[in-house]
């Protein structure tokens, strides 16, 4: 079932935008479409999209295929948008999802109500709510993603863990999209059972910790001049995740440190296998603490020879030997 739907209202503009602003938003939109397609996801196009007026009296079809004196956009950019939209598909919802004649927002809401993750792809020129937004009242109304750039995709994929109640294998498959700047060791889905907390109970906290590692750890590590104590304090104070390197006592225990070594011939990066050819194990002595005394995510802060410098998550465990 599709996940991404071009949202028609975002193309309906009350006045012609500045051309340079329009070109920037079109570039963002095209890049977003291509990023979704590169993930193997079909993108659904509403039937009446080309009839939407991108400026008063200027339907999108005319804007794309007939020279405009009002909005003189770079020809190659218009061609790229034509190609991007042409690669989208029309889709008729199965019986029971929603009536055929509904807006894209209505359709996406119907899918969310049934526990299927879906998002609106928007041009990003209107003042409507973008990013995460509730467009229906009520505590049980699902939060909808209005995406305008490819950088917003990981946040959408992070919402799927709980919305779709992903099992352990599906979690790690989706993690490649939700945390694209992390390299994952193969086989981590089986290691969820090493936590003392049940999978469904620990899953939201694992997602939170991985999000902080993906989005912030390496920048803070560099800001702290790679000093473990300073890194730990900055990360905890700014993002409320406790991450530390092993103590000196543990680091002098060879047997204990070998438990932190992960021998891999490849890692998973953004859904693809990347070979590892360093000829030695990756030592994951850094770890986040899901609970003060148990449940750890062990990682290496980054090695150019492992996955191009990406942070490497290698072990889930209750508590390794110290």
Query: What is the full DSSP assignment across 80-123?
Result: HHHHHHHT-B--PPPTTT--SS--HHHHHHHHHHTT---EEE--
Token readout for 206 is 């694992």
**Cβ(13)–Cβ(53) under 8 Å?**
yes
Question: Residue 231: its pLDDT value, please?
Answer: 97
The residue ranges of every structural domain in the chain are 4-156, 168-317
Question: Residue 64: its pLDDT value, please?
Answer: 92
**Cβ(126)–Cβ(13) under 8 Å?**
yes
Residues, the chain, total? 322
- Angle among Cα 138, 5, 162 to the nearest 5 degrees reads 50
Token readout for 282 is 């990756």
Q: How far apart are CA 175 and CA 158, in angstroms?
A: 8
**Could you tell me the end-to-end alpha-carbon distance of the chain, in angstroms, rounded to an integer?**
47
The DSSP H or E segment spanning 257 is: helix 254-258
Token readout for 39 is 């993930």
Question: Residue 262: its pLDDT value, please?
Answer: 93
Question: Residue 95: its pLDDT value, please?
Answer: 79
**The dihedral of CA 51, 57, 60, 66: what is its sign?**
positive
Token readout for 35 is 């990023």
Parts of the chain with a pLDDT under 50:
137
Token readout for 243 is 């991450």
pLDDT tens-digit map of 191-232: 999 999 999 999 999 999 999 999 999 999 999 999 999 999
**Cβ(183)–Cβ(310) under 8 Å?**
yes
**Cβ(21)–Cβ(66) under 8 Å?**
no
Q: How far apart are CA 265 and CA 38, in angstroms?
A: 25
Token readout for 191 is 């290691």
């Amino acid at each position: 079932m599709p996940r991404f739907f071009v949202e028609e209202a975002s193309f309906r503009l009350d006045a012609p935008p500045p051309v340079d602003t329009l070109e920037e938003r079109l570039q963002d939109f095209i890049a977003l479409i291509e990023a979704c397609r590169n993930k193997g996801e079909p993108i659904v196009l509403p039937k009446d999209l080309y009839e939407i007026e991108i400026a008063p009296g200027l339907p999108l079809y005319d804007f794309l295929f007939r020279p405009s004196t009002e909005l003189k956009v770079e020809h190659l950019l218009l061609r790229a948008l034509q190609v991007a939209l042409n690669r989208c598909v029309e889709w008729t919802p199965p019986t029971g999802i929603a009536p055929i004649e509904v807006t894209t927002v209505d359709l996406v809401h119907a899918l969310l109500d049934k526990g299927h993750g879906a998002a609106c792809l928007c041009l990003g020129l209107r003042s409507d709510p973008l990013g995460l937004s509730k467009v229906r009242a009520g505590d049980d109304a699902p939060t909808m993603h209005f995406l305008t750039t490819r950088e917003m995709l990981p946040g959408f994929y992070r919402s799927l863990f709980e919305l779709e109640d992903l099992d352990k294998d599906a979690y790690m498959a989706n993690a490649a999209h939700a945390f694209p700047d992390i390299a994952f060791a193969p086989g981590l889905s089986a290691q969820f059972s090493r936590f003392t907390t049940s999978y469904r109970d620990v899953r939201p906290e694992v997602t939170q910790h991985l999000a902080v590692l993906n989005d912030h750890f390496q920048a803070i590590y560099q800001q702290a001049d790679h000093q473990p104590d300073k890194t730990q304090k900055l990360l905890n104070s700014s993002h409320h995740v406790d991450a530390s390197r092993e103590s000196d006592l543990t680091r002098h225990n060879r047997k204990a440190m070998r438990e932190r070594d992960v021998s891999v011939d490849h890692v998973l990066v953004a859904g693809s296998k990347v070979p590892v050819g360093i000829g030695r194990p990756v030592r994951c002595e850094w770890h986040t603490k899901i609970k003060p005394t148990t449940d750890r995510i062990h990682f290496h802060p980054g090695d150019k020879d492992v996955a191009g410098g990406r942070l490497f998550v290698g072990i889930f465990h209750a508590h390794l030997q110290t």
